[in-house]
């Protein structure tokens, strides 16, 4: 009996493992980038609200005013991401902390904490995607969207990130971590 078939059978398995590892690495990179950037924006909003720079703040408060003025985007109040006063500042800071905790949980070796983190990150990305889509949809004027192209691109990116978070959750939900 030849050893050649055993080696040829191992190659697809090695390629499959390498592909899966790259897939997990890329989705983890997207998750961490989105999580840390969204937490940073929330902390920026929280500090502005706490100092009294804003009466009401949304993630669009961190954007260039010229970009969000087109189509009345700056007047939008995204659900779950609109904050007012010092209580809003505390809520935005609390959400930022929750996102960072969810990022950490999603990297745990134990299954249940990892699943909780993955679920929280997917819900968080879904909130941002739904709010982005709603904000852009409200700028429809019959002939096209009135929002500036960067706003439309950001909303599209949020939908893509949401898809990536769902994909990451499906990848890592049942994964067993074996300590060697």
List the beta strands (DSSP E) in 50-97.
56-57, 83-84
> Do residues 30 and 167 touch, judged by C-beta distance below 8 A?
no
Query: Helices 85-105 and 111-137, interaxial angle, to 10°?
Result: 130
Handedness of CA 164, 170, 172, 173 (dihedral sign): positive
pLDDT of 25: 92
Query: Nearest Cα to 89, choosing from 53, 129, 133, 36?
Result: 53
pLDDT of 4: 53
pLDDT of 127: 96
178 φ, ψ (degrees, to nearest 5): -110, 120
pLDDT of 11: 62
pLDDT of 8: 53
Per-residue CA distances from 59 to 9, 44, 90 (Å): 51, 9, 15
The residue behind tokens 């990305």 is 125
User: The tokens of 117 are what?
Assistant: 């983190």
Handedness of CA 57, 60, 64, 65 (dihedral sign): negative
> Do residues 139 and 146 touch, judged by C-beta distance below 8 A?
yes
pTM, rounded to two decimals: 0.85
Residues in the chain with pLDDT values less than 50: none
């Amino acid at each position: 009996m030849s050893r050649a078939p055993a080696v040829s059978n191992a190659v697809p398995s090695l390629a499959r493992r390498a592909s899966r590892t790259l897939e997990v690495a890329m989705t983890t990179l997207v998750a961490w980038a989105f999580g840390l950037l969204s937490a940073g924006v929330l902390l920026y909003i929280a500090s502005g609200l706490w100092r009294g720079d804003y009466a009401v703040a949304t993630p669009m408060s961190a954007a260039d005013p010229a970009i969000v003025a087109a189509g009345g985007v700056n007047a939008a109040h995204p659900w779950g991401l609109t904050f007012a006063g010092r209580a809003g500042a505390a809520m935005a800071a609390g959400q930022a902390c929750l996102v960072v905790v969810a990022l950490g949980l999603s990297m745990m070796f134990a299954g249940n904490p990892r699943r909780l983190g993955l679920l929280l990150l997917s819900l968080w990305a879904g909130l941002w995607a739904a709010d982005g889509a709603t904000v852009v949809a409200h700028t429809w004027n019959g002939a096209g969207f009135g929002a500036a192209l960067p706003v439309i691109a950001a909303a599209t990116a949020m939908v893509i990130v949401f898809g990536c978070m769902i994909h990451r959750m499906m990848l890592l939900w049942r994964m067993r971590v074996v300590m060697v």
